[in-house]
Chain A
Amino acid sequence: MNDGLFDQFKTWYEKRHDYARDWKARTGGQVVATMCTYTPEELLIAAGMLPVRVLGAHEPQNVTEPHIFGMFCPFCRDSLAQGLLGRFDYAEGVTLTQSCIQYRQAFNSWRMHVPTVTWDYYLPMPNDVQSPHARKAHHAEVQAFREFLEALTGKKITDEMLQESIAVVDENRRLLRELFDLRKVADPQVTGVEALYASLTAQFIDKREHNEQLKKVLAALPNRNLNRPEGVRFMTIGSENDDIAFMAMIESVGGTIVIDDQCSGTRYFWNESLPEADPIKAIADRYCDRPACPTKDYPNHTRFDHVLGLAKDYNARAAIFLQQKFCDPHEGDYPDLKRHLEDNGIPTLFLEFDITNPIGPFRIRVEAFLETLTEDELF
Chain B
Amino acid sequence: MITAGIDMGSRSVKVVLLEQINVDSAPQLQYAVKKAHLMMPGELDADQAAERAFSEALAAAGVARDDVKSVFATGAGRKQVAFATEGVTEMTAGAKGAVYMYPNARTVVDVGAEEGRGIKTDAEGKAVDFAGNEKCAAGAGSFAEAMSRALQLTLAEFGEASLKSDRTIPMNAQCTVFAESEVVSLIHSSTPKEDIAKAVLDAVASRVCAMVRRVGIEGEVVLIGGMAHNPGFVKSLKGAMGVDAVSLPDLPEFVSALGCALIAAERQH
Contacts and interface: CB of A to CB of B under 8 A. Distances in A.
Interface in B48-95: 76, 88-92
Interface in B70-128: 76, 88-92, 115, 124-128
Contacts of A159: none
A341 to B, nearest CB: 14
B93 to A, nearest CB: 10
A222 interface: no
A364 B76 contact: yes
A326 to B, nearest CB: 13
A372 B92 CA distance: 8
A358 B135 contact: yes
Contact of B267 (A352, A360, A378): A378
Interface residues on B, range: 20 to 34
Contacts of B263: 378
A371 B94 CA distance: 13
Top 6 nearest A-B pairs (CB, nearest first) are: A368-B89, A368-B91, A371-B92, A367-B89, A379-B124, A372-B127
A365 interface: yes
A367 B127 CA distance: 12
Nearest to B78: A364
B134 interface: yes
Indicate the member of A354, A367, A371, A378 with the most B CB atoms within 10 Å: A378
B129 interface: yes
B26 to A, nearest CB: 22
Contacts of A360: 76
A372 B129 contact: yes
Nearest to A365: B132
A375 to B, nearest CB: 6
B266 interface: yes
A364 B130 CA distance: 11
B134 A364 contact: no
9 contacts: A358-B135, A364-B90, A368-B127, A371-B88, A371-B92, A372-B128, A376-B126, A378-B88, A378-B92
Contact of B90 (A352, A358, A368, A379): A368
A371 B127 contact: yes
B135 A368 contact: no
A361 B129 contact: no
Given A352-B134, A361-B135, A371-B88, 10 more contacts: A361-B132, A365-B130, A371-B127, A372-B92, A375-B88, A376-B126, A378-B88, A378-B266, A379-B126, A379-B266
Contacts of A375: 88, 92, 126-127
Contacts of B266: 378-379
Contacts of A354: 135
Interface string A109-129: 000000000000000000000
Contacts of B115: 361
Given A352-B134, A358-B135, A361-B134, A371 B76 contact: no
A372 B90 CA distance: 12
Nearest to A342: B129
Q: Which of A352, A354, A361, A375 is the most central at the interface, judged by chain B CB atoms within 10 Å of its CB?
A: A375
Interface in B114-160: 115, 124-130, 132, 134-135
B133 to A, nearest CB: 9
B114 to A, nearest CB: 9
A371 B89 contact: yes
A361 B140 CA distance: 14
B60 to A, nearest CB: 28
A364 B267 contact: no
A252 to B, nearest CB: 12
Contacts of A378: 88, 92, 126, 263, 266-267
